[in-house]
Amino acid sequence: MTDKHARPMTEATIKHHLDEATLLAYAAGTLPEAFNLIVATHLSLCDTCRASAQAYDAVGGALLDDDAAAMTAGSLDQILAQLDNGFDAPARHVSTSDIPTPLHSYIGDDLESIRWRPVGMGVKQAILRTSKGATARLLSIPAGAAMPDHGHHGTEMTLVLKGAFQDDDAYFGRGDIEIADSDVQHIPVADIHEDCICLAVTDAPLRFQGILPRIWQKFVRI
């Protein structure tokens, strides 16, 4: 294990955020339930993305308003400008516990409520019940453990709820979200100081390199 995997676990500012396309899709209500869940959970932890999402909501509301035709020429521009300057709307579902508020109806309000199932190499998972179109699961990865080398047939979003993991040169702590597509091949490694618990959402099976992980994949539905 190299030194870059041995960073002390400290409370830090969220550095890895949702992209604009995802926030727009969330505001428009076009995401599958599983992706909607991970976005809402990240927003409950991230002031920056929450402000952007509220601004997009405001834009959508203005465009759909029956009186939109009566808006002044500069009123929509003012709303759009708030995407850059932040949006001073009331916070919703802001979380400070290990289990963010949007997850409560899926798994309860504490880590002891989770019904983990072992999937090999010390990793445990709990698949959440969501509608078709994408799959959401909680993953518990032992401190210092590496996930198998894998790519993606679709999109994978991974949100850190507790602990942290390293992926190449990027470090993901609580609240950080990683978005991986079919161009990404990686081996995430949990921080050595604490087990890493993540919410992971996929819309297609992962693409594993090794034979054993591909056999294991059939049984754990990942």
Q: pLDDT tens digits, residue range 63-73?
A: 555 454 554 55
Question: Mean pLDDT across the chain, nearest whole number?
Answer: 80
pLDDT digits (tens, 9 = 90+) for 191-218: 999 999 999 999 988 766 666 665 565 6
Does the structure show a pLDDT above 80 at 134? yes
* Domains in the chain: ranges and CATH: 20-85 (1.10.10.1320), 108-220 (2.60.120.10)
pLDDT at residue 186, as a whole number:
82
Q: Quick one: average pLDDT of 130-159?
A: 91
DSSP string, the chain: --GGG--------------HHHHHHHHHT-S-HHHHHHHHHHHHH-HHHHHHHHHHHHHHHHHHSTTGGG--TTHHHHHHHHHHH-------S---SSS-GGGHHHH-SSGGG---EEEETTEEEEE----TT-EEEEEEE-TT-BPPPEEESS-EEEEEEES-EEETTEEE-TT-EEEE-TT--B--EE-TTS-EEEEEEESS-EEESSHHHHHHHHHHT-
pLDDT digits (tens, 9 = 90+) for 36-92: 999 999 999 999 999 999 988 877 655 555 454 554 555 545 545 554 554 444 445
How many angstroms separate the CA atoms of 212 and 116, rounded? 22
- Check residue 168 and give left, alpha or beta (phi > 0: left; psi -120 to 50: alpha): left
Does the structure show a pLDDT above 50 at 145? yes
pLDDT digits (tens, 9 = 90+) for 6-23: 444 334 589 999 999 999
pLDDT digits (tens, 9 = 90+) for 157-189: 999 999 999 998 899 999 999 999 878 888 899
pLDDT at residue 19, as a whole number:
96
pTM over the 0.75 mark: yes
